[in-house]
Amino acid sequence: MSISNMTIAEAPVIITMELDDITATENDTVTYKCKLSKPCKNVTWMKNGKPIQATDKKYKISSDGSSCQLTLPKCDIADAGKYTVKVNGTSSSGKLLVNGVLLIFLLFDNLPSRI
């Protein structure tokens, strides 16, 4: 009679919905969303290769089951760049392009006193 032990490894968490590129206008709310094969707490968000800290008030990081997201409530020109989500050695990236708001001021020096 022979007895053997078998170890079954659990399938790793993978990204099942990739990040998209986003074009926004200044002051828009921008949300990057991704889906995972199963819930995971070890999710890292990055901007231009640098980790985004959960304590950074500029961003809101949230998750619900196997969905996770990064929200920028009011984006500005400085927020443009490459955003990446990393999970268990896999990653997905999306670019953010932010269009500025153009303000035009017209100056009239010689307006008639009566219109």
Structural domain contains residue 37: yes
| pLDDT band of 50, cuts 50, 70, 90 | very high
Q: Which residues pair with 22 in a beta bridge?
A: 96
**Residues with Cβ within 8 Å of residue 40, at least 6 apart in sequence:** 13, 66, 87, 88
Q: What is the pLDDT of residue 105?
A: 67
For residue 4, tell me if it sits in a domain: no
- The number of folded domains in the chain is 1
Does the residue 105 lie in any domain? no
Is 73 inside a domain boundary? yes
Q: DSSP states of 11-67 as a string?
A: PPP-EEEPPPPEEEETT--EEEEEEESS--S-EEEEETTEEPPTT-TT-EEEEETTE
With respect to residue 79, please indicate whether it lies within any of the assigned structural domains. yes
Residues 90-102, mean pLDDT to the nearest whole number: 92
Asked, for residue 42, whether it belongs to a domain, the answer is yes
Give the separation between CA 102 and CA 77, rounded to whole angstroms: 12
Answer whether residue 10 is part of any domain: no
Domain contains 2 = no
Q: Is the dihedral of CA 81, 82, 84, 89 positive or negative?
A: negative
Report the alpha-carbon distance of residue 83 to residue 51 in Å, rounded. 10
Q: Can you give the pLDDT at residue 107?
A: 67
Residue 69 has pLDDT above 80, yes or no: yes
For residue 72, what are the β-bridge partners? 30
The residue segments making up the domain with residue 51 are: 15-99
CATH of the domain at 53: 2.60.40.10
